[in-house]
Copies of this chain bind each other. A is one copy, B any other.
Amino acid sequence: GTDLGIISSKAIPQDDGTYRVTGTKIFITYGEHDMTENIVHLVLAKTPGSPEGTKGITMFLVPKYLPIDLESGDLGNASHDLMENHNGVTCAGSEEKMGIHASPTCVMNFDNSIGWRVGDLHTGMKLMFQMMNQERLATGIMGLGLAEIAYQNSLAWAKDRRQGRDLKGPKDPNESADNILVHPDVRRMLLESKVNNEGCRALAAWTGILLDQMHSDDPEEAEYASSLVALFTPIVKAHFTDVACETASTCMQVMGGAGYCTEYGVEQFYRDVRISKIWEGTNGVQALDLAGRKITQNMGKNLRHLMWPLTEFIEENRDIPEMSEFNKPLHQGVRGLQQLTLLLIAEGQANPHFLAAGATDYCRYFGNVLLAYMWAKIAKTAIKKKGDPFYDAKLGSARFFFKRIFPETVSLAAKIQSGHKSVMEFPTEMF
């Protein structure tokens, strides 16, 4: 679960330097399968006398089968009974889930299993987060990928499907009906999907570049990139997947009854994508990571590394008339983000409930501001290449973003500003 401080798995040190690991882990993706000859688990557990809470957690490497040769991992003669190598690692069951049916979700038992310590004692959380941060970015991309294939399916459907007429008069008078792309509400749904997908893809590409820059020889560049990746990780995880689930639903809606039927595929994407809001830390946990940790981390450097280029961009484009429809709302959004950040930090110091009550809406606000930055940058390029259909369409997408998606930030701000009282003062026994 989210609260790793209360894990009860134990690791008892042995004279030969190994440990004996005992405990149960749930929700272990691919915890058991027969696609490889061995499975090596990274397991978090506590050694005797460790500090309470997450500070006492250590990481161990526990294979399903013990190799006869530790260097090569050789399991011995393939024809002999592997049970001789068995390390007490068993799958006690797998979950029946709503989706991701190609991914076994296992309950794993470790029964006095031999394990090797990974890293120093009590560094398990730090090591786990190396993996976790990658997984969070990957989960955001998983959401985006499913949202994109949902969009492509529903677009193909919309191009074929004929129902009703353009409200301004038949578009295809020789057909019994126009195709549904003539309907403003269908276009709205498809554009919401397309424009959110493309905006997220741009932010994903930027994040990918930053992941490379983290390994730069230039320490300043590496520090800058690390700061932004730390800041973006909860947003890529939470905002991408929140939006992706909405997009899968919107694309199903475009297809009407067919969207709900297995035959047409989108219902699977709708089910599969839903896990992305939950695993690798729920989106609520991401929002707390952003609002409670990432914006104040490194003395606020993460945020400053974002705000410098952002405000510079806004300044540069202030007097370019063609940019004003994008630059003005971006400017308002950034100013709003700064105010909300100060509000959460100031109020949050006195009362952490204030910060936590606004965290999810803040994360969504932040995500929208980053997408607004992406779309303003895309628009800037597209304006220079006006007349080219590809870039003209990008300009149309940017316009749609600022007219029909970005305005949600206004409501989010109001909800954040309303504070924690309506949330915390509701009597618990009256839920």
Contact = CB atoms under 8 A, between A and B. Distances in A.
A407 B400 contact: no
Q: Which 5 A-B pairs have the closest CB atoms?
A: A393-B430, A167-B352, A407-B414, A96-B262, A403-B418
B253 A282 contact: yes
Interface string A287-320: 1100000000000000000000000000000000
A411 interface: yes
Contact of A96 (B5, B261, B419, B426): B261
A76 to B, nearest CB: 37
Interface of A: 1-3, 5-6, 26-27, 95-99, 105, 155, 158-159, 162-164, 167-168, 176-177, 181, 183-191, 194, 245, 249, 252-253, 256-257, 259-263, 267, 270-271, 274-275, 277-279, 282-284, 287-288, 351-353, 356-357, 359-360, 389-390, 392-393, 396-397, 399-400, 403-404, 407-411, 414-415, 418-431
A257 B414 CA distance: 30
A385 to B, nearest CB: 14
Given A2-B163, A3-B163, A422-B396, A284 B186 contact: yes
A44 to B, nearest CB: 16
A427 B253 contact: no
Contact of A411 (B105, B155, B261, B410): B410
A331 B20 CA distance: 67
Nearest to A255: B278
A85 B275 CA distance: 51
A430 B159 CA distance: 12
A233 B419 CA distance: 35
Contact of A187 (B267, B415, B424): B424
A410 B412 CA distance: 10
B352 A168 contact: yes
A277 B270 CA distance: 14
Nearest to A175: B6
B414 A400 contact: no
A270 B271 CA distance: 9
A429 B187 CA distance: 12
10 contacts: A6-B162, A185-B356, A185-B359, A271-B271, A392-B427, A403-B419, A403-B421, A407-B414, A407-B415, A410-B414
Nearest to A263: B96
A396 B423 CA distance: 9
A428 B396 contact: no
A108 to B, nearest CB: 14
B270 A191 contact: no
Contact of A284 (B253, B356, B429): B253
A372 to B, nearest CB: 14
B403 A422 contact: yes
Given A400-B422, A414-B407, A431-B194, A1 B184 contact: no
A104 to B, nearest CB: 13
Contact of A97 (B189, B261, B282, B390): B261
Contact of A407 (B98, B245, B411): B411
